[in-house]
Amino acid sequence: MPRARPTETTWQTAAPSQEQGSGSYSVSGFTIVPLAVILISALLASIAWNSNPTPVIHSADLPPVPSNSISPIFRIEIHYWADSISKWAAASQLDPNLVATIMQIESCGDPRARSSAGAMGLFQVMPFHFYAVDDPYNPDTNAARGLAYLAKSLETGGGNALLAMAGYNGGIGLISRAEWNWPAQTKRYVQYGAPIYEDARNGLTSSTSLNEWYENYGVSLCQQAHQRLGLP
């Protein structure tokens, strides 16, 4: 949860259009085309076609199309928000799996989650990050405010996801401090968050770190989210 006050292709493949002019020879009366002319024309056309064949493009030669889907390691409550996570991540220029990791630990997908410290919503954003007109529990608003802080933390940490998580949990000012000097809560946050994110990035289908987090801290949180979302 952000605690510190802010100081703040598409591949479009189209077949090339080839316009071929049509020539016609007309004479008054009957049009007579000798057989030799037809044969010579066909031969010339064949030579021209073979000398400049249509290129064959194999799928292996094309750059991979990026995927915005989140890893299967996340719990069902997080996958409930998969489309929204992709949208929010794109708007914030963040990796969807990093966004999913933060949501997993912060709220397990409960849009009405609230901590004893007063953090609110899906991304457990502290009140001072909202504008007066904001609804903190609106998922889009909560994501916009929380992920803006996460993006700033990631930038401050030089792209290091572990440092970004530390900044998100304990305030960006922590990033410049030695890890041994971080609060216990922040150490615990990155102890689980960093390997969960790595498992997601590495294409694993399950995560021991996420399972350990769930067993130690996430059971009641995720049960609450499950019920709130009306999942079977």
Classify residue 43: in a domain, yes or no: no
Classify residue 15: in a domain, yes or no: no
CA distances from 14 to 17, 54, 65 (A): 8, 14, 16
Annotation marks residue 198 as catalytic:
no
User: What is the pLDDT, as a whole number, of residue 69?
Assistant: 87
Contact 165, 189 (CB under 8 A): yes
How many domains does the chain divide into? 1
Report pLDDT digits (tens) over 86-113.
999 999 999 999 999 999 999 999 999 9
Classify residue 61: in a domain, yes or no: no
Say which CATH number the domain at 192 has: 1.10.530.10
Classify residue 19: in a domain, yes or no: no
In terms of phi and psi (left: phi > 0; alpha: psi -120 to 50; beta: otherwise), the region of 176 is alpha
Q: How many CB atoms lie within 10 A of CB 144?
A: 18
Catalytic, out of 8, 19, 106, 155:
106
Classify residue 66: in a domain, yes or no: no
Q: Is the pLDDT of residue 187 over 90?
A: yes
pTM, 2 dp: 0.73
Domain extent at residue 90: 76-229
Report pLDDT digits (tens) over 208-217.
999 999 999 9
Report pLDDT digits (tens) over 14-70.
333 333 333 332 333 333 344 454 455 545 444 444 444 333 323 233 333 344 589
Confidence of residue 85 (pLDDT cuts 50, 70, 90): very high
Alpha carbons 197 and 133: distance in angstroms, whole number: 33
Classify residue 170: in a domain, yes or no: yes
Classify residue 1: in a domain, yes or no: no
User: What is the pLDDT, as a whole number, of residue 54?
Assistant: 31
- What integer best gives the mean pLDDT of the chain? 80
Classify residue 50: in a domain, yes or no: no
